[in-house]
Structure 1
């Protein structure tokens, strides 16, 4: 069953975005107030150019504190070497990616175009019916 569930069936299409030129103070506030583990970074043509994670934001706090200077722009801290997930990848393929790396979010692409994101939590949520089936089969 899990090998038939596709990322497009459980990805998030209403996701948080930032721009490379955004101030890091603004970016941190966005992640905190939206309660998301990361945001995708898009250029002026809405092309995916990076991901800014909570871990990146912690680096900002440490860097600003140690160097006693204000934080810079998103482009200075975002991760640009990122993996993406194809919209037709299976739930099992996606779960394997989350197991291999510490990422909490993957951008989802369809023919190279950003169409959504998938988080570890969404991936786990997609397994609810799977586990309910096994739980209901237990005797007694």
Structure 2
């Protein structure tokens, strides 16, 4: 009989993602998020290293600023959350759930050996955990 391997973040993360670059104009980033119907995106530098996360909340700050100044201004880097909390790809899915319970973030960039490899959301973790009981 083979031992059962615990599910990991890598088993349930998404890898086909919308990503942005820090130098992208914020107005273009907002348009991408709206067109793709996503609530945020990981921000990767030119070498693919995670630089931050841009959420719709961050975009609201940019939109509010634009309403004051009557024009959009700035780049993704000006509005993104830098140094976001991440999860390791090999983290057990139960441990990931524990991290998520203690955090206000709804989704986390996933790293393997310090490199960005995907993203996992509360929904992904809940689906993984519920699969054990159905």
Whether TM-score is above 0.5 comes out as: yes
Other-structure match for 1:57: 59
Cα distance in structure 2, aligned partners of 1:54 and 1:115: 22
Deviation at 1:91, TM superposition (A): 1.3
Q: 2:21 aligns with which of 16, 19, 22?
A: 19
Q: Secondary structure of the residue that 1:123 maps to in structure 2?
A: helix
- Higher Cα Rg, which structure: 1
Deviation at 1:81, TM superposition (A): 2.5
2:112 paired with 1:110: yes
CA contact (8 A) 1:43 1:49 kept: yes
CA contact (8 A) 1:40 1:51 kept: yes
Q: Secondary structure of the residue that 1:58 maps to in structure 2?
A: helix
Distance 1:97 1:71, change over 3 A: farther
Q: Secondary structure of the residue that 1:94 maps to in structure 2?
A: helix
Deviation at 1:131, TM superposition (A): 3.5
Cα distance in structure 2, aligned partners of 1:116 and 1:70: 30
CA contact (8 A) 2:43 2:54 kept: yes
Q: Which stretch shows the higher mean deviation, 26-35 or 59-68?
A: 59-68
Q: How big is the alpha-carbon RMSD for the aligned residues of Structure 1 and Structure 2?
A: 1.6
Structure 2 gap ranges (5+):
none
After TM superposition, list the pairs within 5 Å mapping 1:1-140 onto structure 2: 4-132=6-134
Q: Secondary structure of the residue that 2:43 maps to in structure 1?
A: strand
CA contact (8 A) 1:105 1:118 kept: yes
Cα distance in structure 1, aligned partners of 2:17 and 2:71: 30
Cα distance in structure 1, aligned partners of 2:73 and 2:12: 35
Number of residue pairs aligned between Structure 1 and Structure 2: 130
Distance 1:61 1:108, change over 3 A: same
Distance 1:63 1:125, change over 3 A: same
